[in-house]
Amino acid sequence: MFTGPVTRDIDDVRRFQTAARSGVKLALAAGFKSPLLITVPHPKYPQAELVSSLGALLPLYTPLNVREEEKSDKFEQLGIMPIGCENLLELVQAYEASFTVCRDIGETGPERMSPPNVARYVQDVFDGGNVQVDVTDNQKVIEKEYPLMAAVNRAANQVKEHQARLIRLEYCGEGKIENTYYLVGKGVTIDTGGCDLKTGGHMFGMCRDKYGSAVVAGFFKALDILRPKGIKVVGYMCMVRNSIGSYAYTCDEVITARSGKRIHIYNTDAEGRITMLDPLTKAKEEALKAENPHLITIATLTGHEVISYGLYAAMMDNGAAHYSFANLAALGPAKKSGWARRMQDIGDIYGQPIEISRLQPEDFDFHKAECEQAHLRQGNTKPSVQTMRGHQTPGAFLIMASRLDEHGCDSEQPLKFTHIDMGSACGEHPETSFPNPLVTLVAE
């Protein structure tokens, strides 16, 4: 297969990925059993071999439920010949294992991957490996320690197999720890919208509303295999089901978060931000004692992000909207570190571009409470696509509601925080996903 032109202004390394994917699809249709993939290196694209290999493997994923019922290998084997990348095979194996875990969780239906089943799957995946798994399944503990997460799952709790789970993952690399990362993933196994019910077919595909947590699990699978030194990574998978029923949470409730902030609920279909909020606060408490910590939330959060950026994830670092190289001290902690820009550069190199979005002062003003009962309002009564700056304001909400705003550039203990809205970055449902930003996170 040929990539076509690769040196025009509109070309990038994904030309190699597309060509490899098309070649594998052609080989499958022709009945080949053991094809060999060879990618000719290109000086403009240092990761072309890896990118094309990941593209070739995409059509070979078999859904979890199919694998559990029947023999599922599409090829007897796929050969990959490294030319310019010495550790290509090791990287491909790590990435593919990472993608398999991510897709198994993210794409499988809401019953097979209910919160308890996700917990069991994750425990099995990391059994005997380098990742420690702890599952909080006591609903009383969740109600006390993570009250907003519990509220989202309140209706679903009436069914045992739909009860919430908080899954904590931890990887600690060899040697002196120089950087600590905390990843908090949204894990809504099916989003009905709750009492603000999704209608007109908009519920279809909402089994993928757990892809934030799926990316967290997939990232840890790569850590388990590659074993990078000098870093510690903690992940929280916030597994809930946003059901509708007689005990469902509703608008007009005022719920006190783990942080002590009182949150006024406006829209039960804005459940993702409050599902992650209390685990984020817990992660913040841990981060205050950690070495060079960076907190990250990952979520398929808003339709606004989708209409803004399409199939690309958007990153928002904490801090003022304006970069000022003349006065770096004025930047927020994450923005000062340049993390989003570095991730964007890595994404371009590895064929998974990411967009940078920015927080503005009005994003914080938007979430100030409109009544004395609450400190903050969760959102408004409109869908995000009808809300000005509809994907930026949730990042500001998470900062204020977790009290991360007390750890900005002017504090004694600044904390880096980045909010990643995946939107529809896992692709068009029900096609097999290439979830953005998993490749970039692993590469970083």
With CA atoms as reference, report the closest residue to 14 among 60, 58, 78.
58
Percentages (nearest 5) of helix, strand, coil residues in the chain? 40, 15, 45
Catalytic residue among 198, 262, 341, 403: 198
The CA-atom distances, in angstroms, between 348 and each of 65, 246, 305, 352, 389 are 33, 48, 19, 6, 25
| Beta strand 179-191 pairing with 376-377 | unpaired
Is it true that the peptide bond before 430 is cis, omega within 30 degrees of 0? yes
Strand partners, 204: none
Contact between 103 and 214 under an 8 Å Cβ cutoff? The reply is yes
Strand partners, 186: 238
Evaluate the CA torsion angle 215, 216, 221, 227 in order and state its sign: positive
What three-state secondary structure class fits 218?
Answer: helix
Catalytic residue among 14, 165, 273, 416: 273
CA distance 28 to 136: 43
The CA-atom distances, in angstroms, between 101 and each of 57, 216, 429 are 14, 10, 18
Helix (H) / strand (E) containing 151: helix 147-152
Phi, psi of 35 (to 5 degrees): -75, 160
Is 71 designated active site? no
Is 368 designated active site? no
Q: Report residue 210 CA to chain centroid gap.
A: 9
Evaluate the CA torsion angle 337, 307, 438, 294 in order and state its sign: positive
The Cβ of residue 430 has, within 10 Å, a number of other Cβ atoms equal to 12
Only one residue has tokens 């720890």, namely 177
Helix (H) / strand (E) containing 179: strand 179-191
* Residues annotated as part of the active site: 198, 273
